[in-house]
Structure formats: C-alpha cells, structure tokens
Structure 1
Amino acid sequence: MDHVIELDRVSKVYKGKRAVDGLSLRVSKGSVLALLGPNGAGKTTTVSMILGLLQPTEGKVKLLGSDPREAGVRKRIGAMLQEVSVIDNLKVSETIELFRSYYDKPLPLADLLRISALESERGKMASALSGGQQRRLGFALALAGDPEVLFLDEPTVGMDVTSRQLFWDTVRKMADRGKTIVLTTHYLEEADSIADRIVVVSDGRIVADGSPSEIKARTTGRIISFTAGERTSDEELRDIPGVTELSRSGRRVKLMSEDTDRLIAELIARRTDMRDIEIGSGGLEEAFQALVRKAE
C-alpha cells in the first residue's frame, strides 16, 4: 500500500463555520508527517477525522485503505491525544496491561514501561501521576499494540526536558523501523528535527507542504538580526528596499531578505543604529510565521 492515509477534499463544518475546508492529503507508509498550524487552524479536527472520531461533512477519509472506524483498522493504529484520561483505581502497570489485552500482538509490558520511563511508577496509582507522567502513560498506551500508524497530538506538552528527549529518541527509532507517524506540535524545533514532511494548515486549508528544508528555503530567505538603538523604529526599517519581513522581541530585530548582502550595505549607508549583528538562514519558526501571515 503506497498511501496509509488518504483525505479527498475533506471538509468539516461546525455551526456554519468550516473548521476544515476541502483538504486533500496523502501520507506514504514509513513517513513522519508534522501537521502544523496556529490555534483553530483545523489540525486536531483533521486528526480526529483520520482516526474516525469525527465524520467529515464532505469528502472521504481512508486509513490503511479502509474506513477508520473498522475494528481491523483500529487494531493497527495508536493515538496519543491532547486530553489524557486515566482509569480510577488502576495502577500504572494494570492500566497498560488492560490496553495490551485489546491487541493480538501487543508489545511486552516491560518494553512499554521502559519506553515511557515509568518503570519506577509501575506500582503507583495512575491517577496519582503528575501531568507529565500521565502524558508518558498516554504514550505507552498508544504503543501498546505495536501500531503501524501512530498519531501524536501535542505529545510533549507538560513533559520535562529529559522526558521529551527520551520521547523523541523513541519516536525516531519507530520511524527507522518503518512506522508511519503523524504529529502535531507547537514546539517547531521538534517538528524540524523529527519530520521528513511538514504540512502547514491555516483556516482549514493547506498553505504549504514539503520537507523542512524546502519549507524554510521557499519561505524565509535569509535573516539579519541585530540589537536596534532606541530611536530605530519598525516603520523606517520596513521602508528599506529588500526587507520582506520584520519581527521584533524587545530591541532585538530580525529582518528577512532575499539579498542580505545588499540589505546590510543599505543599513550601513543609512547609518542605522544597530549592534551585535548576525546573518543566517531562517528557521522553521520564521517560515511558519511568514506562511500564517500570508494566509491571513
């Protein structure tokens, strides 16, 4: 099967508003896809339709070649969603064992505890776990059936740095084994490091689709960043020929341009008050912001 996920002109309407608007998407087996977009862009709705938790108002969705609601399909996928609910009066190991019982060929309990870094908490009540530990438990449950396709919706929210590192190391190993992974995240550096394909959505539509390097190269050009003097205004900087985007954090300014050599010469010629000058390529954060602004 070439495509494990297929969306054909899919729309979802809530109270007259299109959360997803005519979206078509195909995801190949063994790929790692990051679905990015601002809040309310339609990411979670799209994932919910792929999982069969929501039905599209228009269009067709196929998962592993079939209807996502089929029992045979559900046994071949795993999902870690934003909302984590634990079962009362069950320990961590008992919760994982319960989910393992739903599958024909589950991963061993010891492996799931190790992957989720919950070996020390195996005897603790699941409801007593911290927020970050509950996220890791959700990861173990998503992997219980050794899924062919794994969905991760904002997976590392609430995790500490060590847990996040272990989490992504595990995801990379799964990708190396040919698993298909679909993730949404607000941590763009994570998407940049793990995904081989990025799809950016805004207002329920796809506004960019490509590898991380392609997205960055198409969108941002290069960046000059510097600390601006107190009298240096955004208005005068935007008026300089060659400036395509401007962003500011306090007095630290970033100017995007397709020709940074010419732009730096122009800044010097205008005697712009600036110091601590750096020139480099734009990152995924800059590309994402530029795409969203353009879409809006």
Structure 2
Amino acid sequence: MRWQGGRPQLLWERDRVSPLPLGGPFGFAVVGTRRCLGAQGLPCPRRADLPGDSTRALCADCTAFDRRHSVAADTAMDDPRPFRLYLAWFGPGLLKLGITAAERGDARLLEQGALAFTWLGEGPLAATRRAESALGAAHGIPDRMRIGAKRAARTSAAGVPAVEAAGQLLAAADALQTSSAWPDTLATLSPAVVDQRRVFRLPAAGPAPEVAVTSLHPGATAVGRLVAVVGSDAYVDLDLGRRALLPLPLLAGWSLTRPAGPTTAPLADLPAPADPGLF
C-alpha cells in the first residue's frame, strides 16, 4: 500500500501497483502463493513464502535488512536529505509527533492515516530526530501510535469540525515551537493545518465497519464498493451487505485477479463503536 499524488495505490507485487478508485467498484481474487516483496528496492533472494494473516509483506531476513537501512528505525542516521518535523492529529486529543524526508511531502502523513497535520520545523536528520524525542518527552506527545487507537478514533473524529481540529493542532504547535526543548539547529516552519479527511473520503458518521478481513488464502475473494481508504486501511461495502475493514497490507505479495464470485475471504465480527454521548 502506498499513496502517490494524493491517491491510494495497492502494491500487490514488487513494482506492480493498481490504483484504488474511491467510491467505485472494488474486488479481487487471490491466486498462487504469497511471496516476500523484498526490501530497499531489492527482491527477496529466497522468494520466501509468507503467511496469509501477516500485515507485513517481508520475510524475517528482509525485515532485518530493511531495518539496517531504515531512517524510521534510527539505523540510517547519515542520510543527507533535509527532514521535517510534523504534528499529526488522529482524533480529539490524539496527537503524534513524527519526522519525514522533506522531499516526500505529505506522503508519510497519508500513509499513517493522519486525519490532519501541520509542519513544525526542518533541518538535518539528526537534529530533527532529537527534536522529536526532546519535545515529545517534554510535552507528553508520543512518536508512536498503535493502529487500534487510530482506528477507534476515526468514528469520534469524523464529526469534529475542521476548525476545531485545526485549533487543537495550532495550540499544540505553538506550545512546541515556543518550548525550551526546541533545538536551535531546527528551523521553525509557520504552522498551516492540512485536513486530510476529504482525501480519505472518511464518511460523515465515521467508517463504522461491522466486520474485518482477517487473512487471505488462494481462492479467497472480496467484492463490493470501496467507501474510503485511511492510511493502509480500506473500508468496503461488501456484496454480503456488511461494511468491512480491509487492512490492505494483507494483499501485498499475492497475485490478484478479477473475482468470479461473491466474497469468500475470512471475516471476523467487530464490536459496535461506543456512543460518544455515553462518556
């Protein structure tokens, strides 16, 4: 799964992608064997098999190789590119600090499913990483967030007006940029909030999935209408009459073709979202 030019694309084999038409028909059938996609632009030397329930399309060896050359894992700190520090909003009170290469623009924020964000600063990788750590510790803002927390927040976030979300971000951005923990080696960027909910096509009442696709296997199919894509999560109104959460990383590494029948992919029931009025 990747975002290109503000549009979601499915990486289903190495260097083979398909656009995901939001609001349009959606379907696939799984064929063949699921293979590791390889790391850092290189194919997996063993073409290793992968289990159907894994949301990471790399084998253990390629995962280790990827981490040795990863900015995110702090193992490639000699990267000469300029980096940006951002503040992301995933729902009411749910903020996260992070960094991304300046040349990638908003791609990292789209990949993470940030519902809104603002840039904070720009500088060398080491300085940007230190700022992320120091400011996060000083202000209690994490640089990691569990996918479950993001998914749960999408329902409560859907009804929050853009001006309210922007207010939360701008207040936190001001506190961070005027903090004594702000490093002199990081240039300050003027905060400007970008709300990405329209890009994701997040429904006005939230995605509200009833079931989730839990794994795939040869012959498994899914058929329906693609409602929204938030980060790497797709929300699909299935032909079965139920809305499903489909983690798109489950598809990576498979060969896919057009479905010839109804949905057969394994599904698990999801609990109904809590009513915000009860809390």
Considering the TM-score relative to the shorter chain, is it more than 0.5?
no
TM-score by length of 1: 0.24
Higher-helix-fraction structure:
1
TM-score by length of 2: 0.25
